[in-house]
Amino acid sequence: MTILKVYYLYTYKGWGKMCSHLKIELDNIIEHKQIKTVFQPIISLRDGSVLGHEALSRIICDSKIKNTEMLFNTATYHNKLWDLELLCRTTALEAAYKFMIPPYSKKLFLNVNPNIIHDEQYIKGFTKSFLSEYNIKSENVIFEITERNAIKDLDHFIETINHYKKQDYKIAIDDAGAGYSGLNLISDVNPHFLKLDMKLIRGINTDNLKFALVKGMVEFSKASGTGLIAEGIETYEEMETLIDLGVHYGQGYYIQKPSAVISDIAEDVLNAIKRINQKKNNMNSNIISNIYIKHLCKSSYVVNPDEKVSKIYEIFKLNPNMSGLCVVKNEIPVGIITQEKLAFKLSGQYGYTLYQNKPISDIMDKSFLTVDCKTSISEVSKLSMARPNHKLYDFIVVTEDEKYFGIVTVKDLLQKTTEIEISAAKHQNPLSGLPGNLLIEQRLTQCCTGTDDYTIAYIDIDNFKAYNDCYGFEKGDLVIKLLSNLLRDSFTGEFVGHIGGDDFVIILNKSVNESYFNDVINKFKYEVLNFYNETDIRNRFITTINRQGNIENFPLISLTCVIANNSGKTFTNIFDLTEYLAEMKKIAKKNKYG
């Protein structure tokens, strides 16, 4: 649904005559401002949070002009498009100011004809000072440009788009997928958001072609960093399919109908989004909890160092698929011999004669890769790939308490590593790339049921909601990525998980106190300043609306970190553990902010 959809003028006979009769109606609407604005929310399909609202125009008087499509077609015919657009834009901004407690901190989507946006009057009229009259920041304004409108001067249009981008305005391509030149327009504009046409969304849960098209757009959005918005969601099944595909945002009658009054998203819709996402995260959840190399081991022939080379040769002849043998003395592996390298040794005119009666210890490889059975598969993979080229495909010897345990082939290692990576990817948080709730619960359960030392740090971003409301979800996502990268880099080799939103967990295999995490807390506090404007940095606070709907000054975001370990208090299950951490976080924030 858009407010400035100016389609090519109808070509059927009599359209011009009809428009002439409607001029009086058009003039009356513009002169007497017979337009009102209604708002339709655009929400995250991950958590139901509101990204912003699209401003939609409605005719409020009795008129022969029945809808906005007819209205803008008439205005185009009579060269009144600028006057009508000005009326719709001003009405939308006044409504945003009137119906939403200023300053408006969500994204305001304003539809605009591409042939109007670079008009000198538009550029001069749509300035930051003009927006300040309505307490709206330029970074919260998104110009929606429908791809159905023909652009008469593409070069000038692109120049204008870049002009607005430099002033922090955002650009959305509306009705993506509805036009035939849409891909060219998307490439030229490089928009911040793409709005999928409702015809693509209608019945997507039963239409394989639409499913495939939207899936392709999701992949494009990942590669380009473009936010994807599905328009016209009307059923639970459509929304479920879009969430499964990974579409970021949605709007439509199922979520909320357009209204002049801004209201919260219905609880049943939010619960549906939560339920669908939980189902998605739990799909294909084949748990690989045993990832030590010992679980990939297989037994093989072992021989003692005194075994004759001729005997080894006969073993390989009888077992052509055998990769090699481990040479063991008093249960300790002392060498390996592979079929390929034995064949090389025995090749030549006198090779076999020369070596057949010698002990295998004379020609075995004494420099081989051996790992303890409790080494992780990922670590073994790294060690294996770090070997010289001529040893890359040698099997790996596995020991337990330094005694021979078994071998692992490179083929089996690569297959298992790939399997683990695929499984891990299914349970990673899509924003941070860190392990999500399922893997976090597994690790917490291991802590509660095991006997080894551990420390669990629960890290939360303070005042993150206020920052999101003020700077928008795009900047908020960048802050989340900043923290996830800092934690990943600061705790290499340790378990770092992303619970969701602004909550993270770190699990260490040792007992430490809160001060252990001070370095990363201070580093985050310094680096996050890059995501504020100079005014807020100077003030040391931001101004936005609190949960009660009142304007409030909020401190700059920082981190709260609380810990639990088994050096003092012990936990028998993860429920007690998580309740303890939640209570500790509550106390820490109270002490911090009162």
Per the structure block, which two tokens stand in for 64?
């022969």
CA distances from 444 to 254, 350, 439, 448, 582 (A): 38, 62, 9, 6, 14
Alpha helices in 283-333 (DSSP H): 309-318
| Pick from 52-56, 82-86, 115-119: least confident | 115-119
Q: Is 229 left (phi over 0), alpha (psi -120 to 50) or beta?
A: beta
**Separation between Cα atoms, residue 337 and residue 358, nearest integer Å:** 14
If you average pLDDT over residues 154-167, what whole number do you get? 80
pLDDT tier for residue 7 given thresholds of 50, 70 and 90: very low
Per the structure block, which two tokens stand in for 173?
């391509």
Q: Give me the pLDDT at residue 347, please.
A: 86
List, in sequence order, every beta strand (DSSP E) within 241-319. Answer: 249-250, 302-303
pLDDT tier for residue 286 given thresholds of 50, 70 and 90: very low
If you average pLDDT over residues 398-403, what whole number do you get? 91
**Separation between Cα atoms, residue 163 and residue 158, nearest integer Å:** 9
167 CB neighbour count, 10 Å cutoff: 13
If you average pLDDT over residues 584-594, what whole number do you get? 85
Helix (H) or strand (E) holding 371: strand 370-372
For a pLDDT cut of 90, what percent of the chain falls above it? 31
If you average pLDDT over residues 222-244, what whole number do you get? 89
CA neighbor of 96 nearest in space, from 66, 133, 146: 133
Query: For residue 103, is the peptide bond before it cis, meaning its omega torsion is within 30 degrees of 0?
Result: yes
Q: Give me the pLDDT at residue 295, please.
A: 77
In this structure, what are the phi and psi dihedrals at residue 245, rounded to the nearest 5 degrees? -75, -20
| Pick from 190-194, 237-241, 290-294: least confident | 290-294
Strand partners, 144: 111, 172
If you average pLDDT over residues 413-438, what whole number do you get? 77
Task: Examine the pLDDT at 562 and tell me if it is beyond 90.
Answer: yes
Q: Give me the pLDDT at residue 429, please.
A: 83
Q: Give me the pLDDT at residue 464, please.
A: 93
**Separation between Cα atoms, residue 239 and residue 255, nearest integer Å:** 9
What is the SS3 assignment for 355? helix
Are 492 and 504 in contact, with CB atoms under 8 Å apart?
Answer: no
Q: Give me the pLDDT at residue 204, please.
A: 92
If you average pLDDT over residues 329-338, what whole number do you get? 93
pLDDT tier for residue 224 given thresholds of 50, 70 and 90: confident
| Pick from 127-141, 232-246, 294-308, 400-414: least confident | 127-141
For a pLDDT cut of 70, what percent of the chain falls above it? 87
Per the structure block, which two tokens stand in for 397?
């010897």
For the chain, give the mean pLDDT: 83
Q: Give me the pLDDT at residue 311, please.
A: 92
Specify the pTM. 0.49
**Separation between Cα atoms, residue 423 and residue 418, nearest integer Å:** 9
Q: Give me the pLDDT at residue 8, please.
A: 35
Q: Give me the pLDDT at residue 337, please.
A: 93
pLDDT tier for residue 288 given thresholds of 50, 70 and 90: very low
Strand partners, 136: 104
Distance of CA 158 to the CA centre of its chain: 29
Are 499 and 505 in contact, with CB atoms under 8 Å apart?
Answer: yes
Q: Give me the pLDDT at residue 377, please.
A: 83
If you average pLDDT over residues 552-581, what whole number do you get? 87
Q: Give me the pLDDT at residue 40, please.
A: 93
pLDDT tier for residue 332 given thresholds of 50, 70 and 90: very high
Are 310 and 356 in contact, with CB atoms under 8 Å apart?
Answer: yes
Q: Give me the pLDDT at residue 20, please.
A: 63
Q: pLDDT of 178-222, one tens digit each?
A: 554 467 778 778 888 989 989 999 999 888 888 888 988 888 887
Task: Examine the pLDDT at 499 and tell me if it is beyond 60.
Answer: yes
CA distances from 260 to 36, 44, 84, 428 (A): 8, 21, 20, 39
In this structure, what are the phi and psi dihedrals at residue 356, rounded to the nearest 5 degrees? -60, -35
**How many CA atoms does the CB half-sphere of 529 hold within 13 Å?**
11
pLDDT tier for residue 279 given thresholds of 50, 70 and 90: low
Q: Give me the pLDDT at residue 6, please.
A: 33
DSSP label of 45:
T
